[in-house]
Amino acid sequence: MKTNNNKSNKWLIGLLGWLVACILFFPIFWMFITSFKTEVAAIATPPQLFFKPTIENYVAVQERAAYFNFAWNSVIISVGATILALLLAVPAAYAMSFFPSKRTKSTLLWMLSTKMLPSVGVLVPIYILGRETGLLDTRIGLIIIYTLINLPIVVWMIYSFFKEVPKEILEADRMDGASTYQEVAYVLLPLALPGIASTALLSIILSWNEAFWSLNLTTFDAAPLTAFIASFSSPQGLFWAKLSAASTMAIAPILIFGWLSQKQLVRGLTFGAVK
Amino acid sequence: MTSVVTRPQPPSESKRRSSRKIPTLALVAPSVIVLILWMVVPLAMAIWFAFQRYNLLIPDNREFIGLGNFIFILTDPALWISIGTTLVLVASVLLITIGLGTLLAVLFNQDFPGQGIARVLAISPFFVMPTVSALIWKNMLMHPVNGLFAQITRGLGLGAIDWFTDFPLVSIIIIVSWEWLPFALLILLTAIQSLDTSQIEAARMDGAKPLQLFRYVVLPHLSRAIAVVAMIETIFFLAIFGEIFVTTGGGPGLATTNLAYYIYLKALLEFDVGGASAGGLIAVVLANIVAIFLVRSVASNLDT
């Protein structure tokens, strides 16, 4: 009866796995469902699972014209910061992974340690610098800050992806007389492209969701979606359906990004500690 | 931070020199220089402000007061309460996410129908922005009247819990754990998947029970991944802000004021630049103490 036993075991494990997955996903599911309810249905007792769906909340959020300003700010800031970080990180990671020196390891660790510097420690100076330079509440200001806070992780991830490219391929190409530019542009970058793409995705996700600097350094002009959503927190008002609709719109793009990239994402995130 | 950087290097490390001449210094320099500026400039300013009486509301009253701000901040009971809250918050969430994450990683390492989809659902919370997850939990789940939890417990005749009034810190811990459990799960799952199956088979042949298998084969294999998870999570947990900002605002009283929120209150609500800078420097010192332990333990596990 061993096989039978295994079968029921498998069934149990499947049940448990799905139960855990559903519990973890439930708050997101509930938010999504609520966004299609009327405000009255959203706070009904007992909670309704079946109801006549409406898109009035999405229309209402869209009518708050500001929504698209916030969303556009989020896109510009997270993509801008990611491009800037990649431009800085790719050359550095290239040099460190293919031409390592005695200082390479300590440089990498030092970069990571800059992330240990708590943002609150430098909030006041950055706020004052921002005010003096006129970068407060501008997209450029947030792009610069996000580039700097994500740079260490971006360098690390690209470094570990470059490390995975077999040196022999590059060396063979070198024998054929390829120039450095050709080697990088036609051999290395295509090979490392999936890694660079997933690094970019992680950087976009982190920038999109960052709440400390965006809440403290922006008021309206450059405020991204994190600030838009936070504006719903002040009144204890019962407009959960609209809040749910706005939240769904705020997280949907990044959630889909995350789902698509989860496999590659984790490879870079492990910092080479998991083989 | 310097103590982390200047780790002695083994002198025997071989230099791999390529035939190709590459201006490596010029390639690495831009990243290093901007990061140095990012660290040094604000930090120097914070030190400069920390020794002054400087309130943005009364800027004319600005003067050098030596250690005044530090004495004021260090004798403020709220600082110590907030440091305690920070440590409780970081430690609890680390424990929950790594403990549960390890168990779930073992679970999701098994083959079951629809395992891929279940895994994607389970990791989804990681991609939700902190302000959104905090608001979902605060309003739709933990609300004492219309929240789902209250509705369920009241339906069962148990009455309702007012989460953010009665258990404010626990509520924050639950929310942050929910956000970060998927991250621990993802990384630990990858680590388990890299475990050599023949090793498990061999142990099983020797009559190891599942629990022994987990304790003596799986867990040691996971130690590096756990170190990485702990390090990255600690970096983010020391600076938890958005979740507190939209739910409790640090209260009731000081119940959910962590160090980040304490300095925020000083700086942007009381406009006390000097005091906030001194508090910020204390946060930097605290983070450094943690960093030295963590980066060291990870560094010893890394092969670059």
Which residues on A lie below 8 Å from B164 (Cβ)?
none
Maximum pairwise Cα distance, chain B: 79
Closest CA of chain A from B66, distance in Å: 18
Q: How far apart are CA B175 and CA B237, in angstroms?
A: 12
Per-residue confidence (pLDDT) for residue B178, from 0 to 100: 95
Is B41 in contact with A129 (Cβ distance < 8 A)? Answer: yes
User: Which residue in A16, A27, A108 is closest to B304 by CB distance?
Assistant: A108
Q: From the CB of residue A199, how many other CB atoms can be counted at a distance below 10 Å?
A: 32
Q: How far apart are CA A65 and CA B20, in angstroms?
A: 56
Which residues on B lie below 8 Å from A113 (Cβ)?
1, 4-5, 291, 295
Per-residue confidence (pLDDT) for residue A151, from 0 to 100: 93
Average predicted confidence (pLDDT) for chain A: 81
Which residues on B lie below 8 Å from A233 (Cβ)?
131, 134-135, 138, 245-247
Counting Cα atoms < 13 Å in the Cβ hemisphere of A93 gives 28
The ipTM (two decimal places) reads 0.80
Domain boundaries, chain A: 2-34, 64-269
Q: How far apart are CA A50 and CA A52, in angstroms?
A: 7
Q: From the CB of residue A122, how many other CB atoms can be counted at a distance below 10 Å?
A: 23
Per-residue confidence (pLDDT) for residue A122, from 0 to 100: 80
User: Which residue in B15, B127, B276 is closest to A254 by CB distance?
Assistant: B127
Counting Cα atoms < 13 Å in the Cβ hemisphere of B246 gives 26
Strands B63-64 and B52-53: antiparallel
Closest CA of chain B from A17, distance in Å: 7
At A263, the pLDDT band (50, 70, 90 cuts) reads confident
**If you search the block for the tokens 């069962």, which residue do you land on?**
B156
Is B16 in contact with A100 (Cβ distance < 8 A)? Answer: yes
Is B128 in contact with A209 (Cβ distance < 8 A)? Answer: yes
Is B280 in contact with A121 (Cβ distance < 8 A)? Answer: yes
Domain boundaries, chain B: 77-299
Is B146 in contact with A43 (Cβ distance < 8 A)? Answer: yes
Per-residue confidence (pLDDT) for residue B49, from 0 to 100: 84
B240 burial class (0-12, 13-18, 19+ CB within 10 angstroms)?
A: buried
Is A124 in contact with B284 (Cβ distance < 8 A)? Answer: no
Q: How far apart are CA B272 and CA A202, in angstroms?
A: 36
Per-residue confidence (pLDDT) for residue B181, from 0 to 100: 94
Confidence check: pLDDT of A272 > 60:
no
Per-residue confidence (pLDDT) for residue A142, from 0 to 100: 92
Closest residue of chain A to B147, computed from CA coordinates: A43
Closest CA of chain A from B203, distance in Å: 19
Which residues on A lie below 8 Å from B238 (Cβ)?
116, 118
Q: How many CB pairs under 8 A join A and B?
A: 338
CB contact set of B199 (below 8 Å; sequence gap of 6+)? B217
At A237, the pLDDT band (50, 70, 90 cuts) reads low
> What pLDDT, in 10s, does the model give residues A93-102?
988 888 888 8
Q: From the CB of residue A94, how many other CB atoms can be counted at a distance below 10 Å?
A: 22
Tokens at residue A83, please? 């491009």
Per-residue confidence (pLDDT) for residue A86, from 0 to 100: 95
Query: Looking at residues A165-176, what average pLDDT do you find?
Result: 76
Which residues on B lie below 8 Å from A100 (Cβ)?
16, 304
Helix (H, G, I), strand (E, B) or coil at A9: helix
What are residue B55's DSSP bridge partners?
B272
Per-residue confidence (pLDDT) for residue B3, from 0 to 100: 42
Q: Specify the fold of A64-269.
A: MetI-like fold (1.10.3720)
User: Which residue in B117, B132, B303 is closest to A250 by CB distance?
Assistant: B132
Residues of chain B with pLDDT under 70: 1-21, 295-304
Closest residue of chain A to B278, computed from CA coordinates: A121
Q: How far apart are CA B95 and CA B194, in angstroms?
A: 23
Is B9 in contact with A112 (Cβ distance < 8 A)? Answer: no
CB contact set of B215 (below 8 Å; sequence gap of 6+)? none
Is B5 in contact with A266 (Cβ distance < 8 A)? Answer: no
> What pLDDT, in 10s, does the model give residues A84-141?
999 999 999 988 888 888 888 888 888 877 877 777 778 888 888 898 898 888 899 9
CATH class of B77-299: mainly alpha
Q: From the CB of residue A132, how many other CB atoms can be counted at a distance below 10 Å?
A: 9
